[in-house]
Structure 1
């Protein structure tokens, strides 16, 4: 669909779709990322097995085992949000026929990540690796937005992102409160905390005007924009 709109010169509709993707992609991912941030030990031990209790998702990539895995996973959770925005830009650049621009983003980001790893991994281990990876994702988002803007004129949804941050803060406070005061089986406690916080998150988004009814009619466009 991106290729079709681009070929027809329908940049206005592309820009509209991009703004919606920039809005709803992080909105959907934030609760999951914050859940990883609050429950890194639970995720590592009970979802990936006890052998990962002292590691993190980055363990597989870098091949190291450190006791600071939960902290590394918390840092990576921020990178997950950034990677979502990059994937949107990457799909668009590929769809309009300039995949080389993705390469121009990945190469400096890879070099940046490699240099940071040289300094951070020896001293901080997997936490340093997670930190450099997250910073690299941020760099990839910035560079890819610059690339996309060269082909499609659009404005970034700063007000929507601020609302997402606000909703995320409300989600985080809610889940921390429930995690502290609920006295239940661990699995039930985590499940109820996440579900209740998710409901509060959605209600907050509606009250702040982040989630709008008219946006629902655009979801077919969002889906098609991700197809090359």
Structure 2
């Protein structure tokens, strides 16, 4: 598998799908306001948190075992049987406690939540099977189909006056589309399950579930706690800022998604040197878009939220800056995390995640009460930085990690130059509408890339990796 090509496919599709989702959220925010958006985001938060027991780390286990190339059908069928038990229990629990669920979210959506957890697990299962088959690039189509379906169907419902429920109906449709398309694309055929294969999956998943908990807590715990102590409007503003920051790690996510199954295969073949060199080569591309995004946000955070989403969302302008800084840490962590799991050490990833999750939970409970939504951003940034450091420490015990300090330093200097340019530009033009904002950001991006290409080492690396896409 060509990691660069697979990453590029994912990145291209993620750009389109994220742009679609971004435009959709901007439209829905303008039409509905912060509070209804908060209802939808709380629904997603519940869906994300319930996915922890529903999956119990099996997705990662399926991807890992199938990527090793042996008994793929047996692992597939054994995993399906294992997943039926927790999903059934969770659906029953939602239906029994539906009055509490409805009160927390703010709409009568418990039955829809039960349906969503089933559809989500089915859709994501199809994705990890494709990844395990080393067909990571093909999962891009599934991601794109999900976002296009969600925005399209949700728009129809919102225009008919369904409000937040319209967004939820759109999400259910999108998950269904993703599952059907994924099922069609998978080539692994079910085979007779066995206790042996189920035990192998469980042995991996019991540690991987902790890493999964870290991912879901990282994505949704802050939103869930904001929903407990603050208003739905605060939830809507905070999560909208979060969604803006996720755009800048699309390349990092794409690289990590392509990295894991290939590292898994190399580890099975004892190709340690290839893993080490690949980790080093992927760090700079993973960070190259995130660093300038942070410096650009320092200049235009208020304008991004107010002009694109509406005045109600400007209360999260400082949140946007803090979370954008956190994405710099995430761009490194995601490489270390996938590499550690790929070399079959989910136990160490689990230890790091437990520390981070507990820190995140405690800090969120303290900081949200004391500081509001900016407290949630601070808690997430501190805990995730800790997570990244511990992952890097554990990985260094098995791999020689050579961090490209000179290349990253040049990215920082180029970003500072871009920020100075933007500040000067801001004194010359008034950024008071979307067109002027996009123009300013585009000009800043051009300056950044011109500065990046003045570095010979970066220029050679980027050109070489671009050539590998078509080689």
For residues 45 and 129 of structure 1, do their structure 2 counterparts lie closer, same or farther at Cα, with a shift above 3 Å needed? same
Counterpart check, 1:84 vs 2:312: no
SS of the aligned residue for 1:152 comes to coil
Alpha-carbon distance in structure 2 between the residues aligned to 1:88 and 1:130 = 22
Kindly provide the CA deviation profile for residues 143-185 of structure 1, in whole angstroms up to 9, marking residues without a partner as x: 1111211221122222222222111211211222212212466
Cα distance in 2 for partners of 1:88, 1:219 equals 20
Greater CA drift, 161-170 or 181-190: 181-190
What corresponds to 1:39 in structure 2?
300
Distance 1:15 1:209, change over 3 A: same
Which of 101, 106, 110 aligns to 2:348? It is 101
Match of 1:181 in 2: 428
Tell me the TM-score normalized by structure 1. 0.80
Q: Residue 321 of structure 2: SS of its match in structure 1?
A: helix
Measure how far apart 1:219 and its partner are.
5.9
Q: Match of 1:168?
A: 415
Q: Which residue of 1 aligns with 2:286?
A: 25
* Residue 208 in structure 1 maps to residue 455 in structure 2: yes
Cα distance in 2 between the residues matched to 1:216 and 1:154: 23
Range that drifts further, 18-27 or 153-162: 153-162
Pair 1:215–1:11, CA change in 2 (3 A): farther
Structure possessing the higher radius of gyration over alpha carbons: 2
After superposing the two structures, state which structure 1 stretch, 26-35 or 131-140, moved more.
26-35
1:3-30: per-residue Cα shift (whole Å, max 9, x none)?
A: 1222222222222211122112111222
Counterpart among 255, 258, 271 of residue 10 in structure 1 = 271
Residues of 2 paired with 1:16 and 1:150: CA distance?
Answer: 16
Q: Is 1:179–1:190's contact at 8 Å kept on the other side of the alignment?
A: no
Which residue pairs with 2:73 in the alignment? none
Give, in angstroms, the shift of residue 188 of structure 1: 2.4
More moved, 5-14 vs 196-205? 5-14
What value does the CA root-mean-square deviation take over the aligned residues? 2.4
State the TM-score, normalized to the length of structure 2.
0.41
- Deviation (angstroms), 1:32: 2.9
- Offset from partner CA, 1:80-109 (integer Å, 9 cap, x none): 111121111122122222223222121101
Identify unmatched segments of 5+ residues in structure 2: 1-261
Deviation of the 1:213 alpha carbon? 2.3
176-185 vs 81-90, greater mean Cα deviation: 176-185
Between the two structures, name the one with larger relative contact order (CA 8 Å, sep ≥ 6): 1
Cα gap change, 1:214 to 1:84, in 2 (>3 Å): closer
Report the Cα distance in structure 2 between the residues aligned to 1:184 and 1:74, rounded to whole angstroms: 18
Of Structure 1 and Structure 2, the greater helix share is in 2
Distance 1:95 1:134, change over 3 A: same
Question: What is residue 381 of structure 2 aligned with on the other side?
Answer: 134
